[in-house]
Structure 1
Amino acid sequence: MGTFIIEGGHQLKGDIQPQGAKNEALQILCAVLLTDQPVEINNVPDIIDVNKLIDLLNHLGVKVTKNGPESYTFQADKVDLDFLQSEEYKTLGRGLRGSIMLVGPLLARFGKGYIPRPGGDKIGRRRLDTHFEGFIKLGAKFRYNREEYFYGVEADELNGAYMLLDEASVTGTANIVMAAVLAKGATTIYNAACEPYLQQLCNMLVRMGAKIDGIGSNLLKIEGVKKLKGTTHTILPDMIEIGSWIGLAAMTRSEITIKNVKYDELGVIPATFRKLGITIERQGDDIFIPAHNDGYEIQNYIDGSILTIADAPWPGFTPDLLSIVLVVATQARGSVLIHQKMFESRLFFVDKLIDMGAKIILCDPHRASVIGHDFKSKLKATTMTSPDIRAGISLLIAALSAKGTSTIHNIEQIDRGYQNIDTRLRRIGAKITRLGNDKS
């Protein structure tokens, strides 16, 4: 188990470049299975979850060529379908939440898709019903081995269908879209997720020869085609990492420029941080955060009532940044209610912040009330363990702002979503040391 040792209380300064988007990469990598032709993917983040998926594709027989530090070419012309029934596949698949999105492409192209119950963050129930209900409507037969927690779908032929999704699941929508592009006839998906990363997937599939209308909306119409071709695709910068750096700059009162952010794809993220009183300056396609030496003040609603920040499907505020917002609020002037609607266990990390001196009332598994210190009382260093990716980065930000030296264990959770984070933070002045694993 790896560990970070963090000497907090230092102002940082400099430029930081966001990595490629983790959540987009997991979708795009699965989509290479839809064609036997080469697919080049650029801006691929070097993080544990993505590397695990690339390794899994390699085990499936996909040819993987590394063109450079963040560029790969994949060719799925000789997929080993027998591997899907192996114990090794079951073991590898369990270790990665994103492995569920292998099922749609495998089903569409080969008529069968299997997956063990995926692992990933321990943030509450993350059901798979939306995925499999969509496959069933396209004509697949579903089976589930309860003893091995092993899912399977099979079909001699997929046929287009109308479906109203029970939730706007991003991975569920992506999986169904990847199955439908090779189905016979027309598919209509209503209440589809429409995140920029899903738009990226759809636009990539169109370049491969798919016919998809309504990209960017919650109503997708797909006309199935017989075959897809290869393409080249570049992954967007990671909006969650961009939000993390905004929060880091505010909490450490640092002057930081976040480079090449694809600002127009960030939705309400900048506006949400501005509601916390954070100054965000757009400079071309960069974001400049000045040093908040006088602190930052949370805006109330027009009628004077306390601000609530809640997550919602796109174009609402992403749940992956609520933990960052919560940490940033601990040093603001004013109060805010954080409402995590989509996952019931994501706020449980606040006990670590309370140990550090934060004023937080955990109302229930979904809501936390935060009363800011206005930097009049610094958070205190402590020893903690990262429970998941987003809580982990939030605790790291808290430690970098705290007085004294903190220790964070289980940093593999952070490495799952953030590329060489300690190296990149040291470049802008952070005092952070890695112990116990070989990441650098």
Structure 2
Amino acid sequence: MSSFEVRGGKQLKGEIVPQGAKNEALQILSAVLLTAEPVTIANIPDILDVNLLIELLDEIGVKISRSNRHTCTFQADQIDADYLASDEFRKKGGRLRGSVMLAGPMLARFGKAYIPKPGGDKIGRRRLDTHIIGFEKLGARFEYDELHSCFKLSSPRLRGAYMLLDEPSVTGTANIIMAAVLAEGITTIYNAACEPYVQQLCQMLNRMGARIRGIGSNLLTIEGVSKLGGTTHRMLPDMIEIGSFIGLAAMTQSEITIKNAGVEHLGVIPEKFQQLGIQFQIKGDDIYIPSQDVYEIQTFMDGGILTIYDHPWPGFTPDLLSIVLVVATQARGSVLIHQKMFESRLFFTDKLIDMGAQIILCDPHRATVIGLGRKQNLRGITMTSPDIRAGQALLIAALSAEGKSIIQNIEQIDRGYQYIDERLRSLGADIKRVVS
């Protein structure tokens, strides 16, 4: 198990390019199973979760040709559909929540799919009901396969249907879309997620020959086709990384330029960091954050304390609430962070309190941060990364803190951020990876 040794308190400076979007990658890479023709994907993030999914695709029988670490051509013309029922797939797929995204394409093209118990972050219950109910409405049968100790979906032929999703699940919406594009007839999905990554998936599928209307809205209409062809696709920059870098610059009083940030796809993310008092300039597709001594949290117009909460797109993404929380610790003023979606995601605040932050954990979903206004620096401690996003937040805290911090279980950070230590060193950070 590896750890990061960080000596904080250094101002950083320079340019950084965000990686390809992790959350988009898990959908897009699964979609290559929908065709026997070659599909070339560019700007793939070189991170543990994505590489594990590519490894699973290889073992299913997908031919993979890498022109470089970030560009691959996939051809799914000789697939072993029963591999998903094997012990090997169950063990590997159980480590990666994104493995559930293989179910929609496999069910659509081969009439059967297997789902292991999902892995991923330990941030509370993450149910699959939306996926399964959607598949059942398309005509799939869902049962527990005792022989293979996993869930099985089967259908000789999917048929289009109307469905109102119980929640606008991003992965649920994407999985149902991938099943519906090859179903017979018309599928209507209401209360669909409309995140940029879902839009990217729909646009890619349409280039492959799918017929999807309503892209970017919460009402999708899909006319099933008999087969799909190949295409090329480039993933968006990772909006979570971009938000993390904005927060990093503010916390460390650094001058950083985020290059090729895909600004038009960031939604309300820039606005939320501005509400924390962080100044930046958008120059074309770049974001320039100047060194800033003090940043002050805004209040509501009536003087009430600012509340920042997660909400389905175009609301604020839950993946950045951990970053907003840690950035607020050195702001001037107070903010209430309301994490609605996951009941365990704020538990990492105990580590920030140990570092000297003033945080009141109201309950599993809400935390009030009283900003220190740089009157008192955070202090370095030894801590453990509980999940991808909290791990990155703790890393930002360590880079701004006085003294040495040790962050253990950094495999969680590596799951979502490629070469993060190397890229931060290029900005002047004092960070070292220690392999134990």
- 2:333 counterpart residue number: 334
Distance 1:419 1:149 in 2: 33
Distance 2:326 2:147 in 1: 41
Distance 2:109 2:365 in 1: 40
- 2:306 counterpart residue number: 307
Measured after TM superposition, the shift of residue 148 of structure 1 is 6.8
Instruction: Write out aligned runs for 1:114-133 (5 A).
Output: 114-133=114-133
SS of the residue corresponding to residue 45 of structure 1 reads: coil
- 1:365 counterpart residue number: 364
Measured after TM superposition, the shift of residue 147 of structure 1 is 9.3
The worse-fitting range, judged by mean Cα deviation, of 202-211 and 78-87 is: 78-87
Judge conservation of contact 2:85–2:148 (CA < 8 Å) in 1.
Answer: no
What do the CA deviations read for 1:35-76 (whole angstroms, capped 9, x no partner)?
Answer: 000000000000000000000000000001001121000000
- 1:260 counterpart residue number: 260
Alignment gaps of 5+ in structure 2: none
Distance 2:162 2:82 in 1: 32
Distance 1:281 1:209 in 2: 40
SS of the residue corresponding to residue 240 of structure 1 reads: helix
Judge conservation of contact 1:298–1:336 (CA < 8 Å) in 2.
Answer: yes
- 1:424 counterpart residue number: 423
Judge conservation of contact 2:85–2:150 (CA < 8 Å) in 1.
Answer: no
Judge conservation of contact 1:331–1:374 (CA < 8 Å) in 2.
Answer: yes
Judge conservation of contact 2:62–2:76 (CA < 8 Å) in 1.
Answer: yes
Measured after TM superposition, the shift of residue 145 of structure 1 is 4.3
Alignment gaps of 5+ in structure 1: none
SS of the residue corresponding to residue 422 of structure 2 reads: helix
Evaluate the alpha carbon distance shift between residue 298 and residue 189 of structure 1 in structure 2; reply closer, same or farther with a 3 A threshold.
same
- 2:351 counterpart residue number: 352
Q: What one-letter code is carried by the residue in structure 2 that aligns with 1:347?
A: L
- 1:197 counterpart residue number: 197
Judge conservation of contact 1:254–1:291 (CA < 8 Å) in 2.
Answer: yes
- 2:387 counterpart residue number: 388
Q: What one-letter code is carried by the residue in structure 1 that aligns with 2:18?
A: P
Q: What one-letter code is carried by the residue in structure 1 that aligns with 2:396?
A: I
Judge conservation of contact 1:426–1:432 (CA < 8 Å) in 2.
Answer: yes
- 2:180 counterpart residue number: 180
- 1:103 counterpart residue number: 103
What do the CA deviations read for 1:206-236 (whole angstroms, capped 9, x no partner)?
Answer: 0000000000000000000000000000000
SS of the residue corresponding to residue 102 of structure 1 reads: helix
- 2:78 counterpart residue number: 78
Judge conservation of contact 1:32–1:74 (CA < 8 Å) in 2.
Answer: yes
What is the aligned-residue identity percentage?
70
Measured after TM superposition, the shift of residue 149 of structure 1 is 5.6
SS of the residue corresponding to residue 301 of structure 1 reads: coil
Distance 1:308 1:171 in 2: 27
What do the CA deviations read for 1:324-380 (whole angstroms, capped 9, x no partner)?
Answer: 000000000000000000000000000000000000000000000000000110001
Instruction: Write out aligned runs for 1:11-410 (5 A).
Output: 11-145=11-145, 150-293=150-293, 295-410=294-409
SS of the residue corresponding to residue 193 of structure 1 reads: coil
Q: What one-letter code is carried by the residue in structure 1 that aligns with 2:157?
A: E
Judge conservation of contact 1:117–1:149 (CA < 8 Å) in 2.
Answer: no
SS of the residue corresponding to residue 362 of structure 1 reads: strand
Q: What one-letter code is carried by the residue in structure 1 that aligns with 2:155?
A: A
What do the CA deviations read for 1:62-91 (whole angstroms, capped 9, x no partner)?
Answer: 001001121000000000122122110111
Q: What one-letter code is carried by the residue in structure 2 that aligns with 1:171?
A: T
Q: What one-letter code is carried by the residue in structure 1 that aligns with 2:367?
A: A
How big is the alpha-carbon RMSD for the aligned residues of Structure 1 and Structure 2?
0.9
Q: What one-letter code is carried by the residue in structure 2 that aligns with 1:90?
A: R
SS of the residue corresponding to residue 406 of structure 1 reads: strand
